[in-house]
């Protein structure tokens, strides 16, 4: 089973920032069979969530990490986000996170309310 | 001139390392003024006639030392010669008046920054594990690196019965089935980077040394060499950790 968990250990957050050359204050990890497979590093700047790195090229895990981050942002009252230019824009577009602007996520609420794959929305 | 230990004279001449010189002396290849030399024997490098297998060895003062940086291409072995006919890095060296030796080694399939020098002490300082000179590698691995694997590489992994010293890991790019990372290590164990990657389940597709301490490969073309600039030489000497003195 895959779990998406927030990073609570500051030293591990430091490690992720060093490894991916970022300076984020928050992160989520994808854990499978007790092994940390990949991560998402983000920050909040000027009332906007900034996704600094997503360390996976697997579509489902990428999608899950980004949605976990978006949900966490909404919980603290942030409704917009931006992907760093280093993040694969083909992937973010394919997953429907961005529109014409390849970096900006206009509405996190909309993204989380309109999950294409979500069974609840298929009716 | 002040008398100097014979193995130092040989090493400073660029003929071989100090350790190799000791072997040559023990194996009766070295003579001083026609008499077999002894390990630790002190000689006047200017007046005394020093020979190895009949070849006269001339003492070099430090001013004459040569320091080169090479961008070693893949397919060359780091050796002065090879009895199996493989291509050696020495084939890529320019014609020099002095004999230079590689500082450490890069595997046949590893490319990048390789230093050469005629200065035995410098070579020894650069290679000795206690001096902790960093080596930076650009490593392309397959299939993908998990964060757990990155943690293991950075904390140290068991290779050849010993755990490696902490390393710095930076992921530079990720593509499906291919990750490029930068790995900084401070040891120089045999095939260390490849073994570290194998130990965590990664296959190394390409390995290139991009820096040696503060020296950077930059845009040096593969298969070419250049002399180190005076400021580079100062920087690399400054980067060498001084050996700790034993307290009584």
Note the pLDDT of residue B172: 92
Task: Identify the closest residue of chain B to A90 by CA–CA distance.
Answer: B175
Average pLDDT, stretch B142-151?
91
Task: State the architecture of B63-129+215-239 in CATH terms.
Answer: 2-Layer Sandwich (3.30)
Return the pLDDT at A23: 95
pLDDT digits (tens, 9 = 90+) for B196-232: 999 999 999 999 999 999 999 999 999 999 999 989 9
Taking residues B95-107, what's their average pLDDT?
A: 88
| pLDDT of residue A116 exceeding 80 | no
Domains B63-129+215-239 and B134-212 fall in the same CATH topology: yes
Q: What is the CATH number of domain B4-59?
A: 3.10.290.10
Q: What is the pLDDT averaged over residues A55-68?
A: 93
- Per-residue pLDDT, averaged over B6-11, amounts to 87
What is the distance, to the nearest Å, from the Cα of residue A74 to the centroid of all Cα atoms in its chain? 12
Domain segments of chain B as ranges: 4-59, 63-129+215-239, 134-212
The residue of A11, A14, A19, A61 whose CB has the most chain B CBs within 10 angstroms, and thus the best one to mutate to test that interface, is A19
Residue B171 has pLDDT above 70, yes or no: yes
- Round to whole Å and give the CA distance between A15 and A23: 11
A84–B contact, CB cutoff 8 A: no
The model's confidence at residue A66, banded by pLDDT at 50, 70 and 90, is very high
As a whole number of angstroms, the distance between CA B58 and CA B23 comes to 19
C-alpha B202/C-alpha B103 separation (Å) is 28
Check pLDDT > 60 for residue A120.
Answer: no
Quick one: what percent of chain B has pLDDT higher than 70?
Answer: 95
Q: B163 burial class (0-12, 13-18, 19+ CB within 10 angstroms)? A: exposed
ipTM above 0.85, yes or no: no
- Active-site annotation holds for B107: yes
Condensed to tens digits (0 to 9), the pLDDT of residues B19-51 reads 889 999 999 999 999 999 998 899 988 889 999
Any chain B CB within 8 A of the CB of A42?
Answer: no
What's the mean per-residue pLDDT of chain B?
89
* Residue A35 domain-assigned (yes or no): yes
When pLDDT is averaged across residues A23-30 and rounded to a whole number, the result is: 96
Looking at residue B60, what is its pLDDT? 67
Residue B181, classed as helix, strand or coil, is strand
The domain tally of chain A equals 1
Interface test with A, best of B142, B147, B167 (most A CBs within 10 A): B147
Percent of chain A with pLDDT over 70: 93
Which structural domain range is residue A50 located in?
Answer: 2-114
The four Cα atoms B148, A27, A25, A99 give a dihedral, to 10 degrees, of 130
For residue B100, what are the CA distances in angstroms to B61, B95, B103? 14, 10, 9
Q: CB of A97 within 8 Å of any CB in chain B? A: no
pLDDT score of B148 more than 50: yes
Q: How far apart are CA B62 and CA A67, in angstroms?
A: 63
Burial degree of B67 (CB within 10 A; 0-12, 13-18, 19+): buried
Give dist(CA B55, CA B119) in Å, integer. Answer: 20
pLDDT of residue B36: 93
Q: In terms of pLDDT, which residue wins out, B144 or A27?
A: A27
User: How far is the alpha carbon of A87 from chain B, nearest alpha carbon, in Å?
Assistant: 10
A20 Cα to chain B: minimum distance (Å): 5
pLDDT band at A12 (very low <50, low <70, confident <90, very high): very high
The yes-or-no verdict on residue A114 having pLDDT over 60 is yes
> B134-212 domain in CATH 1.10.150.120?
no
Q: Which residue has the tokens 């014979």?
A: B6
Question: In this complex, do B146 and A29 lie within 8 Å of one another by their Cβ atoms?
Answer: no
CATH number at residue A96: 3.40.630.30
Q: Report the mean per-residue pLDDT for chain A.
A: 90
């Amino acid at each position: 089973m895959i779990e998406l968990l927030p990073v609570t250990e500051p030293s591990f957050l430091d490690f992720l920032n060093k490894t991916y050359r970022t300076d984020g204050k928050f992160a989520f990890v994808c854990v499978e069979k007790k092994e940390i497979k990949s991560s998402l590093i983000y920050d909040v700047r000027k009332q906007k969530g900034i996704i600094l790195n997503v360390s996976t090229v697997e579509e489902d895990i990428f999608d899950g990490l980004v949605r976990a981050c978006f949900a966490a942002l909404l919980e603290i009252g942030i409704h917009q986000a931006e992907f760093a230019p280093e993040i694969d824009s083909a992937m973010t577009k394919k997953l429907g996170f961005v529109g014409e602007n390849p970096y900006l996520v206009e509405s996190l609420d909309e993204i989380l309310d309109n999950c294409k794959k979500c069974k609840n929305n298929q009716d | 001139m002040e008398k100097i230990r014979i193995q130092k004279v040989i090493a400073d001449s660029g003929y071989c390392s100090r350790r190799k010189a000791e072997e040559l002396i023990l194996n009766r290849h070295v003579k001083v003024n026609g008499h077999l030399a002894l390990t630790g024997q002190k000689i006047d490098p200017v007046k005394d006639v020093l020979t190895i297998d009949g070849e006269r060895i001339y003492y070099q003062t430090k001013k004459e030392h040569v320091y080169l940086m090479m961008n070693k291409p893949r397919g060359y072995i780091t050796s002065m010669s090879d009895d199996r006919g493989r291509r050696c890095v020495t084939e890529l060296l320019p014609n020099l008046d002095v004999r230079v030796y590689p500082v450490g080694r890069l595997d046949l399939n590893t490319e990048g920054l390789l230093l050469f020098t005629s200065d035995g002490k410098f070579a020894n300082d650069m290679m000795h594990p206690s001096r902790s000179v960093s080596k930076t590698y650009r490593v392309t691995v397959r299939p993908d690196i998990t964060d757990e694997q990155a943690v293991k590489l950075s904390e140290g992994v068991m290779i050849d019965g010993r755990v490696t010293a902490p390393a710095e890991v930076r992921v530079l790019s990720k593509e499906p089935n291919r990750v490029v990372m930068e790995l900084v290590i401070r040891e120089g164990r045999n095939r260390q980077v490849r073994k570290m990657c194998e130990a965590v389940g990664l296959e190394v597709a390409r390995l290139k040394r991009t820096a040696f301490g503060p020296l950077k490969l930059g845009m040096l073309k593969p298969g070419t060499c250049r002399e180190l600039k005076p400021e580079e030489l100062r920087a690399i000497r400054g980067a060498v950790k001084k050996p700790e003195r034993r307290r009584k």
